[in-house]
Each structure stands twice: as structure tokens, then as C-alpha cells.
A and B are shown apart, each in its own frame.
Chain A
Amino acid sequence: MKKILQTIVIAMGLLPVWLMPAGAGTLTIAQNFDPQTLWPNGTTASDNLNAGSVIVQSLFWEDPRDHKFKPLLATSYELETPTSVLIKLRAGVKFTNGEPMNADAVVHSINIFKDKKQAPSYGLYTGAFDTVEKVDDLTVRLKLKKPYPPIKVALEAIAITPPKYWAEVGLEKFGQRPIGTGPFKFKSWVRDDKLVMEKNTDYWGKLPDGIDTLVFRPVPDDLARTAGLITGEFSVAKDLPVTAIPQIEAQSNLKLVPVSSYRAYQVGLSSLEEHKSPLQKKIVRQALNYAIDKQAIIDNLFFGKAKPLNGQVLRPEQLGYNPDIKDYPYDPEKAKKMLAEAGYPEGFEIPFKFPTGRYAQDREVSEAIAGMLSKVGVTAKMISLEPGEFLRQLRVKELAPMYFVGFAPPNDPAITAGLFKSDWRYTTIADEELDRIIDAGATEMDVTKRGDLYKKMNAILHDEAPLIFLYYGSDIYGTTSKLKNFMPRGDGRFFLYGVSLDD
């Protein structure tokens, strides 16, 4: 018996040799989900886009390292008129099946992008798209129905696909066996297990150093993703739980990469007429802002990695950020006084809806908020919702008067502003002046004027307080310390441009 045990233990000791990660030159990335499709215009889910856009590239991209809008398959774009965009393409680029990347390919790709049947998830971007035409082999003209300031966001999203191959295989099959112009090309894919890409030696740009093979692994369990990073099975793990932060920081061969997310967490406070509640009084909404200790939430529930909203809805690097606005300070005494002034010296009771399992720490944050509100006399009756039901109620304005939510609109102030327009599906405010500013911003092509409009919008929103300003979430990535210059973006996207892997 002892002998057998000994043999087993020795045999187990040998196992790790077989478990060695695939070896130098391989970058293994663990994400939450397996892509549903590798065609980047199939969905807006970041896990899909991260994998798909390594193969299928777009015209431009925004580099999270310096927030600059950089060319990819296009070299530049210019506005001939406010409703006509001239796009110049990069010369000499070929798809990996040999088809040329030219005006025909781009016209074909834009036509698919704006088709609501084929790319329904991008309907928000293409409302202003009219027609697209080839000017010459490397120039394309995109006509708009109206001036459309967020054009960059749309140009960045269009996935350029080879027309012949697309016609041959169709949308579905393309998503399974994509062909593009990117730094890596498709090799094999066992669904829900392993997606393998190899480097495209004919790539038009600079390949990331030291990466020959790229592997995407879907690992749904948070703890398993953390464990695999620690054991070296993964070189990059996305969306780690906040509780893993100390563990990863303690390992010298790992690097913690916290990314300030674009997702702005807030408590929606409806001031709309149809939602009768004390929140219809501005002073009450302001009082609730004084009642919440944002920093305590950030420090205790996010290990200090989240960032406050600064009392406005745009980030410091966005056009229209207003540096004059500061967060409402935490001042429960003042909050109480204001509530008394509003006619609620004893506070009031109000329903408070929140999702469970949609956002990081959603339940914990909501409980903390309810606790803080109770200190100023406001009793929040907590109603927890399953994510699907939460989204349905959001869409039909049933969450009001008060709910916890995180918005991550595409990266343009006009789109964020749209969330507060009186006719938007789930707005919490209807204010004529605000509407005028938002409408003006939605067609203003002059950058300075645009910036001023959104600064003004931020000031109104701060004062009217149709929300409790909370924090930007933090996306936690862990990587091997051999990976250099890896910087994901706040929308859950990461790119391999300029990244290198040491031996």
C-alpha cells in the first residue's frame, strides 16, 4: 500500500512537466466568454471584439495610451462638407486570402455595417449614414443625412471585410472563419475551449514582438481565471474580481493592470412628472448627492481602484469635461438640513431598484448606498432585479424613481448627452434648456463650440442632479510581467498594437 502511494506521489510530481504552458512566443488570453462571432460588427460585446478585431481590422482606432485617434486601414478622413466624409485608404494592403483592401472592400463593408438586419447592434451609430461611394481605388466618400459629430466612433467601429470571400461564405460563416488584414490570422477554434491565431507574416504594419501564436480561452469563473493567471496558464486575464487585487499584487511575476472604465455608475433620480416622488424637488436630489460618501465606496468595495465622476457625466479626457465642476462633498448634516428645507424633516421612504449580477459589486454598492441614505432619514426600500428584467425595466422607464445603474455609452460626448434628452427612452430628466443644448451639440461640427456646449450641459446636470454622481468602474486585468506596453481601454477593449512579449 505504501509503495503504491509512493508511486502515485512520484507520478504526480512529474505531471507539471506536461502542464507547462505552450511555450515562448504564445500569448494566452483568458476572457469571460467565448466569442459568439469573430466578425466585429456582429455584436458590441468587448470579448467578441477583442478577439475578432485582431484579425478583422477597422479604419481607425483610439489608442488608450494617449487617447489619440489613429489610422489603421485608412490614412486620414476629412469633412468635405458637414455631411460628406472623404476617407483616404492605406495603399498596398491585402487580406490574408489575397484580396486587395481597397475602396470596393470598404464600400462593401460600410454597406453591411449600416444594414440593420445584418448589424442590428450598431443601429445607434448608423442612423446618420446615407450612402457610400467609391471615388477612386483608395478613396471613399460617405454621405450623411445630417451633420454627425460622433463620426469618429462610427469610423472606428466599421470592420473591413474582403467582399469576394464574404459573398462566398456569408455573414454566419464569416464569423466562424474570418479573413482580415490584421496582425494575426485565424488558425483553429474549438468552441468554448480555445481559439488559436497565428501571426500574419505579410502584415502591413509592425507585428507585436515576441508573439507568434495567440490563444483566446473562455474562462467563465472569476476564481478560475485568477487561478490560471497565477499558475502561468494564462498570460493575460481580463475582468478579474476586485478581491483578487491583493493576491496579484503580491506576485512578482505578475502585473496588475487596473483600467478606469468608461462605465459611469450612478443612481438615477427621476424628476419626470409621471414619476411622483419627493425626487421631483431639485433640492431633494441635491441633498441625496450630499448624503453619499463616494470615496468610502471606492476605498472599501474597490480597493481604491475606481475613480469618482467629479460631479459630471463626461471623463476628464473627453471633449466637454468641465474642470470648474467638483463632486458634491460628503456632508450628511447638510443633506439633512436640505431635506428639512424641502419639507421632509423626518425623511421619506422610496423604492430603490438595482440589478444583482450585472455589474461588479452591484448588490454591495447598492446596500452601501441604502445604508448611507438611511443616515439622513431616507429609507430606501431595496428591490433586487435579475439583469434581464433590470434592462427591460430600464428600457421602459419602470426603474424610476430611484435606481442604481452603470452606463457605458460609446466614447463620444454627444452619445452620453443623448441619455439626458427628454425624449430618450430612459432619461430621468426633461429640461428645455438642456434639450436645446443637447440638440445643438448633436449637429455642431466645430470642436470648440461643441466643447462649450457640453461644458454647459455638465453644469446643468450637476445643478439639476437627475442622478447621484458615483464613480467610474475599474476593469481589473492581470498579465505576466513579461508582457510590455499592454494597456486596455475603458470600454473593455484591448489591442496588441505596440505590445511586446519578452522571452
Chain B
Amino acid sequence: MLEYIVRRLILTIPVVFGILVISFMLTHLSGDPTDLILPPDVTEEARAAFREIHGLDQPIWTQFIRFCIHASQGDFGNSLRFQEPAISLVMERMAATTELAVAAMSMAIIIGVPAGVFAAYHRNTFIDITVRGLSLLGQALPSFYLAILAIIVFAVWLRWLPTGGRGSWIHLILPATTLAFQLVALIARVTRSCMLDVLGQDYIRTARAKGLSEWSVVWLHGLRNAFIPVLTVIGLQVGFLMGGVVVTETVFSWPGVGRLAIQAIYARDFPVVQAVVLLFAMIFVIVNLIVDLLYAVLDPRISYR
């Protein structure tokens, strides 16, 4: 087991390196950051001084090699806009993003999984149709639209919730719900179809024949068997979540990494963009490793060597 984990972690090294190469190339292809960071009327002399300070005057290969060496030590260079280490800007905002992502994911699992189970159990009834309808709507509504709608209804009309910012749990409600909305829909749909599959299996009939309670049949025997694909989807959706925070954090003025990323992209603040991309990629890789390990916990037939 331990050996497996180590092997998987070693395999992430080329993945991470690939991501570094791609993000470095894409950001540097986008153009010259001095166009956006300095005012358009500064002298060429000041522009040259700025390039020199940040090493942007070097040939791209020199820049890349230096970037790789520093990045492997966790140093992404100073942000061009803030004049501070990019990595510390990112880490400073990580807590806010984690809070939002965990809240949204928990909400999505707590609502999505039971909804899917109910819909499958009461197949083709009113409950099933409602869940299917809502999850279709959830997947169809873009999150930026939903977020603005939520602000207008709950903050401006009803005055129940603040329009944005971070503070108490009340501030978390709107952004987390908006972010969770699409996830709930997806998780509910996947849970439903997996449960439908499982509920038709022989061992479910056997469980009922043994005289187990219906609750135990559905939730312990049924859901546990149906859960592996659901877990896979959840793991993959962490990637979606990382993309979703960019939109949600901007609309709700949430002080997180997503918002930093979007501003860095607009300003061509390369070091920050690269640090964010790498961090998100690592989170994605690690979450999916954990998901793989959880398979073994859920299903004793799976073991890793």
C-alpha cells in the first residue's frame, strides 16, 4: 500500500513538470507584461528597467531554465504587480478558497447523494422527476448567471444575506451554494443511475430475503456498491471546483486564489499565474490519489500493491 502511494507520487513528477512547461509557455506567449503593468506613457527607459528587475529581458530559454530551478524549490519569483513572492500571495489566499471549496463540496455530497438515492428508489415517481428536472436545470445554468441572480434575490430584494465578502458563515452561504449547485446536479444524476443499476442486482434481493430492513438494504448494501463511480466523479469534480472558484470568488468578492488568478491573468502577472496553476494541478492530482485509495476502503475486492 505504502509502496503504491510512493509510486503514484513519483508518477506525479512528470505530470507536474508538463504542467509547468505548458503554463510557462502559454503565459509567456500571451505578450509583454509591461504593456499592462506600467502606464502606457512611461518612458522606454523605465520599461527596460522593469524588464531587467524581473528578468524579462533574458532569452526565453534562460528564463525557462531559471524558472524551473527556482520553481523546484518552491520559488515562483516575485509577482510583477505586487512585488512580493508569488507563492506567498497564493498561500495567503488559500484558506479562503479551501473554506469555500470544502463547503461547496460537502453541500454537494450531502444533498446530491441522498437526492440521487431517493430518485432511484422512487424511480419514475414525482420525486424522481423533480430530482431529474432540477439536476438538468442545475447543470444548464451557468454559475456566473446563478451568482448574480442569487445576489439580486437574497441580498438586494430580501436583504437576508450580504452581497459578498468573507466573514461569518453567513457570508459563505451564497457563494458556496452557487458553487455547489452544478455539483449537486451532477452528483445526484450519477448516484441515481448507479443506484438503479445496483438496486436490480441479485444481492439486493438476497439482502431483502434475509429480512434486512429496507433502510439497511438501500443505504448500506445498495449505496456502498453504487458509490465507487460516484466517488470517481467527485474526485474529477475537484478540477471543476477549482475552475468554479474563479467565477464565484470574483462575483462574491471572496478573497481567494481564484480571484487572484483571474486578476493575474488579465495583468499578465506570470509568476502568480504559474503558482496558481501548479497549486491547482497538485491539489487535483492529490485528491484523485486519495479517491483511488478510498476505492479500497469501500470495496475490499480492490487492493493496491
Contact = CB atoms under 8 A, between A and B. Distances in A.
A233 B163 contact: yes
B81 A224 contact: no
Given A124-B43, A227-B152, A233-B162, A19 B170 contact: yes
B49 A18 contact: no
Contact of A120 (B50, B89, B166, B253): B50
A15 B252 contact: no
B217 to A, nearest CB: 25
Given A124-B42, A388-B31, A230 B156 contact: yes
A223 B148 contact: yes
Nearest to B43: A123
Given A231-B155, A409-B41, A391 B35 contact: yes
Contact of A16 (B36, B49, B159): B159
Contacts of A299: none
A36 interface: yes
The 10 closest A-B pairs by CB, nearest first: A123-B46, A192-B255, A193-B255, A120-B46, A391-B35, A228-B163, A123-B43, A227-B163, A219-B253, A392-B35
A491 to B, nearest CB: 12
Interface of A: 12, 15-16, 18-19, 33, 36-37, 42, 44, 116-117, 120-121, 123-124, 127, 171-172, 175, 190-194, 217-221, 223-224, 227-228, 230-231, 233, 387-389, 391-392, 394-395, 409, 415, 425-426
B40 interface: yes
Given A191-B92, A193-B165, A394-B40, 4 more contacts: A124-B41, A192-B260, A221-B148, A409-B41
Contacts of B156: 227, 230-231
22 contacts: A36-B82, A42-B83, A121-B39, A123-B45, A124-B41, A172-B84, A190-B166, A191-B255, A192-B93, A193-B165, A220-B253, A221-B164, A221-B251, A223-B251, A228-B155, A231-B159, A233-B162, A387-B36, A388-B30, A388-B266, A391-B40, A392-B31
B93 A191 contact: yes
A120 B96 CA distance: 33
Contacts of B46: 116, 120-121, 123
B164 A120 contact: no
A37 B82 contact: yes
A399 B75 CA distance: 38
Interface string B84-99: 1000010011001000
B160 A15 contact: yes
Contacts of A223: 148, 151-152, 251
Contacts of B35: 388, 391-392, 395
Contacts of A33: 263
Contact of B39 (A15, A44, A224): A44
B125 interface: no
Contacts of B53: 117
Contacts of A172: 83-84
A295 B46 CA distance: 39
A36 B263 CA distance: 11
A389 B31 contact: yes
A120 B49 contact: yes
Nearest to A394: B40
A116 B38 CA distance: 12
A502 to B, nearest CB: 22
Nearest to B247: A221
Task: Name the interface size band of chain B.
Answer: 35 or more
A42 B40 CA distance: 15
A121 to B, nearest CB: 6
B255 A220 contact: no
Contacts of B45: 116, 123
Contacts of A44: 39
Contacts of A116: 43, 45-46, 49
Interface string B264-275: 001010000000
B177 to A, nearest CB: 13
A388 B268 contact: yes
B38 A120 contact: yes
A16 B41 CA distance: 48
Nearest to A232: B159
Contacts of B299: none
Given A36-B82, A392-B31, A227 B161 contact: no
A394 B250 CA distance: 29
A312 to B, nearest CB: 20
A8 B160 CA distance: 12
A121 B42 CA distance: 6
B189 interface: no
B253 A19 contact: no
Q: Which of B32, B159, B162 has the most CB of A within 10 A?
A: B162
B168 interface: yes
A14 B162 CA distance: 13
Q: Which of A12, A42, A121 has the most CB of B within 10 A?
A: A121
A36 to B, nearest CB: 5
Contacts of B132: none
Contacts of B40: 391, 394-395, 426
Nearest to B268: A388
A167 to B, nearest CB: 18
B54 to A, nearest CB: 11
A123 B39 CA distance: 10
Given A120-B49, A219-B253, A224-B253, A391 B161 contact: no
Nearest to A418: B41
B257 to A, nearest CB: 10
Nearest to A392: B35
Contact of A227 (B36, B50, B84, B151): B151
B132 to A, nearest CB: 22
B209 to A, nearest CB: 33
Nearest to A14: B160
B34 to A, nearest CB: 9
B161 A121 contact: no
